[in-house]
Chain A
Amino acid sequence: MMNIKWDEILITGDPLILGSQIAIVLTMVGVIAGITYLKKWKWLWTEWLTTVDHKKIGVMYIIAGVLMFFRGGVDGLLMKAQTARPEMEFLNAQHYNEVFTTHGVIMIIFMAMPMLIGIMNVVIPLQIGARDVAFPQLNALSFWLFFSGAMLFNISFVVGGSPDAGWTSYFPLAGKEFSPSIANNYYAVALQIAGIGTLISGINFIVTILKMRTKGMTLMKMPMFTWTGFITSIIIVAAFPIFTVALALMTTDRLYGTHFFTLSGGGLDMLWANLFWLWGHPEVYILILPAFGIYSEVISTFSRKSLYGYKSMIVSIVSIAILSMLVWVHHFFTMGSGPTVNSIFSISTMLIAVPTGIKIFNWLFTMRKGRIKMTTPMLWALAFIPCFLIGGVTGVMLGMGAADFQYHNTLFLVAHFHYTIIPGVVFAVFAGIYYWWPKMFGFMLNEKIGKWHFWLFVIGFNLTFFPMFFLGLDGAVRRAYTYSAESGFASLFGLSAIGAAILALGFAAFCYNIYWSIRHADRNISSDPWDARTLEWSTASPVQYYNFAKLPEVNRLDAFWHMKKEHQGLTLKESEIEEIHMPSNSGLPIFMGAVFGIAGFFLVFEWHIAAAIAGIGIIAGLIIRSFDYDDGYHVKVNEIKSIEKSWRNVEGEVHDHVS
């Protein structure tokens, strides 16, 4: 059945959305015209779109993450504008539902995830002294599937309508009975596509870390960020298939009339909530563990000390990973599973505070008696500790089953998880971007603008979310689009809205910093501007495409720090240079991303025949890949020599950032 109703496809009648549609079209025309005018299509295709280089893929993840941060941030601002005063009529209830749904999905799946996976991509192979990941082409496929899912989800608000059942998409609301339009199909299909990409990334990083560590780097000599990336990848492989199944069942319920989560036919709506959080809670730790890894690197570098309690850090992340699988019921203590079940999950939830507390103390002890440098990355790490602590302590409050009945579904909960995710993940992403920026691009982000960014963001964040604890305790429920003047909520909501504006200014300062630094930052910097400790700083900035001319050899933790102190392994003899084998670029990953996106789009609109035809494209891609015997190419010794000479000789005459 293909009776296309065009008026249902393009959303019309709302000035905000009409403006967005026009803006999207103009931007696309502008971008295409710009690339054509500058004759950059070939460059774009060969250098970026078909690349299998882990560093470039990482950068593309981060760019996509920043764009999605903007989109999700605008959603957040719309919500804050709507609730700034009582009885506002800026957004109606339906529009508000759509905005909080897309805000949640985009911030978690399409902002936080790609930022962290992007940083993992750039950093992990360098930290373990490898030349790429285990499966470079699969890595590109991961990115393009993520990107395809993100774009599919993002067009929903102009084409077909935004999902509006919350980022958790609870049934029965998200089912066909109560959400008959195609909008919620976007949720089921777009997240599925992006999720496949994430699962592939997880497998890729596990194999990379297990098999490609350089000589001498045993597991217990790995940098902490690599450790957290490793454990995160294991959680991804353990948790994402659950989401794959949950979304597939949601799809069959909505598209093919099955009865998994419906109210009729014996379906069980709470089964969705259980499946969702069986993935969703581990997902929280998929986000937080690499962030913890970033803080570990930053704090150790700028305290000029080895990480305190390295082994207990590893024990902590492993126990957090295990516990993450055993707490999902705390998201719905009110389901009515009885005091025994609730008590068990209360205890497992509160247990997570123990390894997390150990980590906090380890960071504090790393700083103790350290020669601390107040750089921008370090500022983020310092602000993280008290802010995250507030998030953690309120988490323990929410974790008490009996007490949770009071907090459940209030803004207290919303404040809690923003206090964990923003200091936990967003601050870490900023710390990581400032810290590794010179490694990625060969120049630093401006420290002065960075400090503006930091202070605006941190003050704005606290002003936005701290009042929401009190609003929640006073009884303001989440996801309500407005409130009465008599409720007495107005002043706290108003304060929160002002905070959101300051938060937005902080993000603007970040964007301006990128612009300013691209234009004006000093290009003549050391390849190790922070005087850092791990192997990624032992090679050029920006890193040459083969990473290391000669694979480094390590014999202890913080290998590069000791190499510098002992003046060992830093120089390269011409006779040591050998040909390097590298993987070839491929257009297949972006092709697969495109056909997945097209098939997904048809599936969203329930045009099954068209979707099946697009599905043939997916099978064709798999067959082409099966018969692809491209074994890569060898970089010639002369080329390596000239590249190595170009950056090694400038040592000593560069502007060192850290004196």
Chain B
Amino acid sequence: MSANVNTALPLEYQREQDRMNILGFWIFLGAEIILFATLFGVYGVLYQRYAGGPTHQDIIVIKDVMIQTVLLLTSSFTMGLAIFEMRRHNLKGLIAWFVVTLLLGGGFLFMEINEFIHYVHEGATMQTSAFLSSLFVLLGTHGAHVTLGIGWATMVIIQLLKRGLTPVTARKTFIIGLYWHFLDVVWIFIFTFVYLKGLVG
């Protein structure tokens, strides 16, 4: 299974098993799209069912949400730079941008946790109304993905430090890069349909 090596390709695509892992991950992302689409669908059904509780306008602090958005979008850009350095076989550059990415991701997570604490202080918990249940679960699922991504990426960084750039570590880095960009795309939808639409509608 490890046969069929093509050294003309980028490091992460050289071995057949790694090519299969990358394809498998794309299909997994397809499943993730369905998962988030379902959560958006649920939110779309429930988002005006306030049950007498707080509405979007009552709780959203758009300034904080903007900061979160900038942090996460920037982290996606730096993730791209990390993969760019990987393609240039520059391990130091790769790790540096990788760490910057995770710091930005950590900043996003910090802001999001604060946002949740703020909501709860305003009396908006996920038990309050159907709207808030769907809001918390949609945001929470995205936030849990970011958390998992940070933990996972830390494992990959340790392996990069230990083993350097090999087809396997390159593939692992590439795959978490895909994952990270995917979370960014989901956030763009959250920002548009939850926050902006919530403040307008």
Interface residues of A (CB under 8 A from B): 131-132, 134-135, 199, 202-204, 206-207, 210-212, 237-242, 244-246, 248-249, 252, 256-260, 264-268, 271, 275, 278, 581-583, 619, 622-623, 626-627, 629, 631-632
- By the criterion CB–CB under 8 Å, are B31 and A237 in contact? yes
The reply on B88 being an interface residue by CB < 8 A is no
User: What's the minimum C-beta distance from B66 to chain A, rounded to whole angstroms?
Assistant: 28
* Contact A203–B27 (Cβ < 8 Å): yes
Given contacts A242-B38, A260-B42, A266-B46, contact A627 B130 (CB under 8 A): no
- What chain B residues lie within 8 Å of A238 (beta carbons)? 30-31, 34
**Segment with Cβ contacts to A, from B72-80, B93-101, B121-129:** B121-129
Across the interface, do A135 and B20 meet the contact criterion of CB distance under 8 Å? yes
Of B3, B129, B133, chain A has the most CB atoms within 10 Å of the CB of B133
| Residue with the highest number of chain A CB atoms closer than 10 Å, among B2, B24, B39, B45 | B24
Are the C-beta atoms of B35 and A268 separated by less than 8 Å?
A: no
In the complex, the number of residue pairs spanning A and B with C-beta atoms less than 8 Å apart equals 121
Question: Which chain A residues lie closer than 8 Å to B126 at the CB level?
Answer: 252, 256-258
B159 in contact with A265 (CB, 8 Å)? no
With contact pairs A203-B24, A241-B38, A242-B34 given, residues A265 and B130 touching in the complex (Cβ less than 8 Å): yes
Question: Which residues on A sit within 8 Å (CB–CB) of B51?
Answer: 259, 264-266
B171 to chain A, nearest CB (A): 12
Q: How far apart sit A271 and B44, CA to CA, in the bound complex (Å)?
A: 11
* Chain B residues at the A interface, C-beta cutoff of 8 Å: 1-3, 16, 19-21, 23-24, 27-28, 30-32, 34-35, 38-39, 42, 45-46, 49-51, 126-131, 133-134, 136-137, 151-152, 155-156, 159, 168
Contact B24–A581 (Cβ < 8 Å): no
Which one of A211, A260, A275, A581 lies within 8 Å of B133 (CB-CB)?
A: A260
| Alpha-carbon separation in the docked complex, A157 to B42 (Å) | 32
Selected A-B contacts with CB under 8 Å, 14 pairs: A203-B31, A238-B31, A240-B31, A241-B35, A249-B137, A258-B133, A265-B51, A265-B127, A265-B130, A268-B45, A271-B42, A581-B2, A619-B151, A632-B1
A257→B133 CA distance, assembly (Å): 9
Task: Classify the secondary structure of B's interface with A.
Answer: helix
| Pairs of residues from A and B, 3 with the lowest C-beta to C-beta distance, nearest first | A266-B49, A266-B130, A266-B51
Q: Is the CB of B127 within 8 A of A626?
A: no
Known interface pairs A135-B24, A271-B45, A632-B1; 20 further A-B residue pairs with C-beta atoms within 8 A, sorted by A's residue number:
A131-B1, A203-B31, A241-B32, A244-B35, A252-B137, A256-B127, A258-B133, A259-B127, A260-B46, A264-B51, A265-B128, A265-B133, A266-B50, A266-B131, A271-B46, A581-B1, A581-B3, A582-B1, A623-B155, A631-B2
Q: A258-B126, A260-B134, A266-B46 are in contact. Are A245 and B35 (CB under 8 A)?
A: yes
**Residue on B with the closest CB to A629?**
B168
Closest beta carbon of chain A to B64's beta carbon, Å: 24
The chain B residue sitting closest to A264, CB to CB, is B51
Which residues of B sit under 8 angstroms from A266, Cβ to Cβ?
46, 49-51, 129-131
Residue of A nearest to B30 (CB): A237
